[in-house]
Amino acid sequence: MNCGELSEQYELYALGVLDEPELSELHAHLRRNCEVCAPAVRRAAVRVSMFANLVAETEPPLNLRGRVLASVGIVPKFRWNWMQTWATVAAAVVLALFWVEHLRRERVRDIAFHDAMQQVKQSDAEAVRLKEVLALLSAPETIVRVSQEGAAQPPQGKVFLNPARGVLLLASNLPPAPEGKIYEMWVIPASGNPVPAGLFQTESNGTAVHLQQGPVDLATTGAVAVTLELAGGAPQPTSQPLIVAPLKKG
């Protein structure tokens, strides 16, 4: 077909609904960067994009902006300010504890000092973990998958997978594990046995953030799942999964 015969197909192509054989004909023109069809298709693509203005306006949820920015590694400033404030207060508490302990008996001072150091260690560990989580979320190659879409109130999970950094699970509606039990995450290959991906406990409100670091092969991974296991975990799942996030959408 010549360019004139294809001129009515440009918008259809831009809409993504052009049928054969016109589609192949237009592809051929575009592949050789046809000086008539290529710019005409570009103009058609812009015109078609403006069909978006037919939709009724809907306000997105307030937290979506933060999610979008976090996905490219931008953390809102107020969160850093809050962290800095918290760190300052924690440091002040530690110093105050030191001063008070100087006024107390030797044994009590040692105990309090030990407690303060534990707090500092936990804070450091949390800060490192937060950095790892942000690094995984902000990496462009990270993909996200969701479990149990549309269900009412079952355990739900959102899984971020990064080939180099690992797997991050954000879970909700997952009640704290009973005494003697613990949650275990699994990376399930498309074929083969599930691979243990760490143990975790949930918060009292049913949420959990669990990061399993290390390389993960997205090409061979079929799903990420969570089961309830005996404390200490299991080499293979022993119960039905509570959360399953398939890698393949749809």
Partner 1 sequence: MTLVPLLLALEFGESDPDLAARIKRRDPQAMADLYDRYGRLAYSLILRIVRDREMAEDLVQETFLRVWTRAQAFDSERGALGPWLLAVARNRAIDYIRSADGRMARSTFEIVEMENPALFANLEREIATSDQARRIREALNKLDPNQRTVIELAYFEGLSQTEMAEKIGQPLGTIKTWVRTALKNLRDELGVAAPA
Question: Which two tokens mark 63?
Answer: 């937290």
By C-beta, is 32 or 104 nearer to partner 1?
Answer: 32
Q: Which of 28, 32, 72, 217 binds partner 1 (CB under 8 A)?
A: 72
Binder to partner 1 among 92, 184, 245, 250 (CB under 8 A)?
250
Alpha helix positions (H), the chain: 3-6, 10-15, 22-31, 37-49, 63-71, 77-102, 106-138
Dig out the tokens for 153 from the structure: 């109130």
Query: Six-digit token pair at 184?
Result: 């275990």
| Interacting span for partner 1 (CB under 8 A) from 34-42, 93-101, 122-130, 236-244 | 34-42
Considering beta carbons, is residue 47 or 121 the nearer one to partner 1?
A: 47
Q: Is 79 in the site for partner 1 (CB under 8 A)?
A: no
Cβ of residue 47: shortest distance to partner 1, in angstroms? 6
Q: Identify whether the C-beta of residue 189 lies closer than 8 Å to the C-beta of residue 221.
A: yes
Here the tokens at position 89 are 């207060």
- Report the nearest approach of partner 1 to the CB of residue 168 (Å): 15
Residue with smaller CB distance to partner 1, 78 or 99: 78
Asked if 11 interacts with partner 1 (CB under 8 A), we say yes
Q: Does 51 bind partner 1 (CB under 8 A)?
A: yes
Least Å distance, CB 37 to partner 1, is 7
Q: Calculate the alpha carbon distances from 236 to 9, 135, 194, 208 in Å.
A: 56, 29, 7, 21
Q: Is residue 29 within 8 Å of 18, Cβ to Cβ?
A: no
For residue 108, what are its two tokens? 């009590």
Chain positions 85 to 144 lying near partner 1, rule: CB under 8 A, are 140, 144
Greatest alpha-carbon pair distance for the chain in Å reads 96
Of 99, 118, 101, the C-alpha closest to 110 is 101
With CA atoms as reference, report the closest residue to 15 among 49, 38, 42: 49
Q: Which stretch binds partner 1 (CB under 8 A): 61-69, 170-178, 216-224, 238-246?
A: 61-69
Q: Please tell me whether residue 149 binds partner 1 under the rule CB under 8 A.
A: yes
Min. distance of Cβ 73 from partner 1 in angstroms?
A: 8
Beta-carbon contacts of 48 under 8 Å, excluding residues fewer than 6 positions away, are 11, 14, 15
**Where do contacts with partner 1 occur on this chain (CB under 8 A)?**
3-4, 7-8, 11-12, 14-17, 19, 27, 30, 36-37, 39-43, 45-61, 64-65, 67-69, 71-72, 74, 140, 144, 146, 149-150, 249-250
